[in-house]
Amino acid sequence: MRCYLMMRGHIAAVEILSPGSDDELIEQAHFHFERRTSVAEPFDGFEIWDRARRVYSWPEDDVKQ
């Protein structure tokens, strides 16, 4: 699973997540987002993907997958 850290609507960085439930993946992604977001890397959101399935997007949008 991958967590794409977003900046102005574009992928700016990626973190590889450990396998787990969707809830565990979301927890991991929030951790990486908080750890990496700074003045130098002003990420404004992230998406979690399991191959072609979008697991979660933050901030949340109205699209359900």
Give the mean model confidence (pLDDT) for residues 48-61.
93
| pLDDT tens-place string over residues 39-50 | 888 999 999 999
Q: Which amino acid is at 10?
A: H
57 pLDDT more than 80: yes
Question: Which residue's entry shows tokens 């987002």?
Answer: 33
pTM for the whole structure: 0.86
pLDDT tens figures, 4-47? 999 999 999 999 999 999 999 999 999 999 999 988 889 999 99
What three-state secondary structure class fits 44? coil
Tell me which H or E stretch contains 53: strand 53-58
